[in-house]
Structure formats: structure tokens, C-alpha cells
Amino acid sequence: MDHIKQATNECFPTVLAMLSGTDVNKVLADTQAISPITHSWTSYIDTGNRDKDTADEVTAVYRALARKYAPYLIDYVAPVSVKDCIEKSLYLNYEAFMTFVKKLRRGAIISCSRFKSIPVAHIAAFENGLVYDGNLDGPISAHEYYKKLANDTPMCPIAVVSEY
């Protein structure tokens, strides 16, 4: 898998490009062809525009993209609820995370903020024990990625998803 550096708020299209081996500009063009409104979860969170129509539109766009580029991600395209993650303790501990990454070999890691005051979610690709996060300069080991999330960000993994 080739690492692709993402632009601001473009983690989902970037991960689809990495997983499918498609040029990220093609994925972004497909996004805009479906709907010119948005291609980012946080674009409506950051502006405070949390209306249901916008969330439904983004979900519909991402569902169409997932269907085309990585069908196993279709169930993971709705906006992540930080409140649900915290209240239901959905976070993966280190052992569970490493087990999934090693067992599944290739797929996506979905992360969510650990703090209600920072309502963010993120997705990264992984393959053969390496994590390809578009926010980073290149792939890093799953161990280092988990450590980086825990120490340098408000994020924690909540799901590891694979086509296998």
C-alpha cells in the first residue's frame, strides 16, 4: 500500500484511495460529483452546523464512495458520536487493537475522541502491521500508532475493520 498525505479533513477519501490503490484526486472528484456540499465529517462539526440534513448528506456521499472503493466500510460511514464512545466505553485497549491489526492484516482503523469537548473522529488504513495515517508523513508500526494516539492526540481506536 502506498502512503498518501491527506489534506485537511480528507481522511475518509484518502483512506479509500490508499486501500483501493486509486489516485486520491479521483476519489475526491467522485465525492464532488456526488455532492459538492461536503466531503468531510468535521466540516459541519467545526462550523457548528450539526443539522441532520447535512449529516445525512455526508453519510450518503460516503456510503456511495465506500460501495465503490471499499464495500466493507459501508457500515462505518455515519458520523461517530463521541458521547456514545465515552458512555459505552467503545475504545479498544492496546491488546485488542494489536490482535485485530495482526489478525485482519489489511483494512481501516476508526478512532474517536476521548473527550466530549473535542468532537472529532478519524480513519486510517493499515496493512501487515503498519498504519497508513494521512495525517502522518509515512507509515508507522501499529504499536507506535497506538502509542502516538494515546500520547499525542485526544483520539483512541474504536474499531478495526477489514475486507477479510
Is there a single domain that holds both residue 65 and residue 87?
no
* Residue 4 lies inside a defined structural domain of this protein: no
Is there a single domain that holds both residue 154 and residue 88?
yes
Question: Please, are residues 10 and 58 in contact by the beta-carbon 8 Å criterion?
Answer: no
Low-confidence ranges of the chain (pLDDT < 70): 36-55
- Predicted pLDDT at 40: 52
Is there a single domain that holds both residue 90 and residue 155?
yes
Residue with cell 469537548: 117
Residue 148 parent element (H or E): helix 142-152
Gap between the Cα atoms of 40 and 55, Å rounded? 10
Is there a single domain that holds both residue 52 and residue 92?
no
Gap between the Cα atoms of 159 and 90, Å rounded? 8
- Predicted pLDDT at 52: 54
Range of the domain at 58: 11-76
In the beta sheet, which residues pair with residue 112?
A: 121, 156
Of 120, 100, 2, 22, the C-alpha closest to 66 is 22
Is there a single domain that holds both residue 30 and residue 96?
no
Is there a single domain that holds both residue 102 and residue 148?
yes
* Residue 134 lies inside a defined structural domain of this protein: yes
- Predicted pLDDT at 44: 43
* Residue 65 lies inside a defined structural domain of this protein: yes
